[in-house]
Amino acid sequence: MHGMRGPRPVTTTEADQNPTALGTPDRERRPLLLMVVLCVAQFMVILDATVVNVALPSIARSLSFPAGGLQWVVTAYVLASGSLVLLGGRAADVAGRRRIFLAGLALFTAASLASGIAPAAGALIAARAGQGLGAALLTPAALSIITTSYAGAQRATALGVWGAIGGAGAAVGVLAGGILTTWLGWRSVFLVNVPVGVVAGLLSLHLVPQHRPRRRFVRELDLPGAALAVAGLVMLAYTLAGALPHTVGDRPGRCCWPWPWPCWPDSPRSSGRRGGRWCPRSCGEPARWSPACWSCSALPGS
């Protein structure tokens, strides 16, 4: 009798790494409504990456976007969600999956409302960045909730549905964007997320299980690293977006994209000379470039 011991208590860390350590048998059935709510939230995140593409011409006319600025309606969302998703996953581990999921869903819904009522181009781009931040918090937390709430065959089914949601959301986004823009205007592309997000948030308060957060929340997050990642990606995207209009063109005097092979020497159809090599003047010419032909200012008429 003295040699018999009771079950060893399971710590929070062990429960996070191995959800079956809590004694949940594979045959136990969990409510599928939780999976539906999580998949709907993820569907909104994927949908918003493509649903806005069809509405871009209407947005440009309505908000008078400057030349080259319209692409940031899409880029701001993708950059924020992609560069901060690792931070969102870490925050879900430290602060609790339920808390981060609800925070991301609330931020995504509020940013969708701000995007739908944006009065100017800058406000819309900022709201889209807020949507991306909400998506970066929501996605890893929802996936973590699925893996820890279901086991066995239910977990396999939930992960299969989760993966299918990604492809379906990207495809449906283009179709839904065209329908909403045609019948209700471009603002409906963003406002449609608001009632869905509110309903999903209310259901999540009752369905998502509790998760005890750790202490020292801020100290366990690499906030400077996340800020550097976002700044680096934004600078890279801004540089490429600003450089291409000056290096790619289809009019005489505009430079074409550089290629690794050298220019043809003494070409009768060339118009500029630098470093002893002739460079084509317009994009109608074959792209025969070398590092010596890089500068557009060296070409006459450019």
| Higher per-residue pLDDT: 218 or 31 | 31
Query: What is the pLDDT at residue 131?
Result: 96
Which tokens belong to 252? 């005489």
Query: What is the pLDDT at residue 223?
Result: 82
Per residue in 146-167, pLDDT (tens digit) is 998 888 888 888 889 988 988 8
* pTM beyond 0.85, yes or no: no
- Closest to 133 (Cα-Cα) out of 195, 82, 93: 82
Query: What is the pLDDT at residue 27?
Result: 43
| Higher per-residue pLDDT: 165 or 292 | 165
Query: What is the pLDDT at residue 25?
Result: 38
Domains recognised in the chain with CATH numbers = 12-243 (1.20.1250.20), 249-302 (no CATH)
In the chain, the amino acid numbered 155 is R
Q: Is the pLDDT assigned to residue 291 strictly greater than 70?
A: no
Query: What is the pLDDT at residue 142?
Result: 93
Which pLDDT band, with edges at 50, 70 and 90, does 94 fall under? Answer: confident
- CA neighbours closer than 13 Å in the CB half-sphere of residue 129: 13
Helix axes 32-50, 153-184, angle to 10 degrees: 40
Query: What is the pLDDT at residue 129?
Result: 95
Q: Are 51 and 176 in contact (CB under 8 A)?
A: yes
Query: What is the pLDDT at residue 29?
Result: 61
Q: What b-and-e string marks burial along 259-274, b requiring 16 or more CB atoms within 10 Å of the CB?
A: eeeebbeeeeebbbbb
Query: What is the pLDDT at residue 192?
Result: 94
Query: What is the pLDDT at residue 243?
Result: 55
Per residue in 211-221, pLDDT (tens digit) is 776 666 666 77
Q: Is the pLDDT assigned to residue 144 strictly greater than 50?
A: yes
Give the residue-averaged pLDDT of 269-294. 42
Query: What is the pLDDT at residue 111?
Result: 97
Q: How would DSSP label each residue in 19-47?
A: GGGG---TTPPPPHHHHHHHHHHHHHHHH
Residues in the chain: 302
Which pLDDT band, with edges at 50, 70 and 90, does 280 fall under? Answer: very low
In the chain, the amino acid numbered 277 is R
Range of 56-65, 215-224, 292-301 with top mean pLDDT: 56-65
Q: Are 116 and 166 in contact (CB under 8 A)?
A: no
What gap in Å lies between CA 279 and CA 277, rounded to an integer?
A: 7
Give the residue-averaged pLDDT of 128-142. 95
Range of 23-27, 144-148, 213-217, 267-271 with top mean pLDDT: 144-148
Query: What is the end-to-end Cα distance of the chain in Å, rounded?
Result: 93
Average pLDDT score over the chain: 76
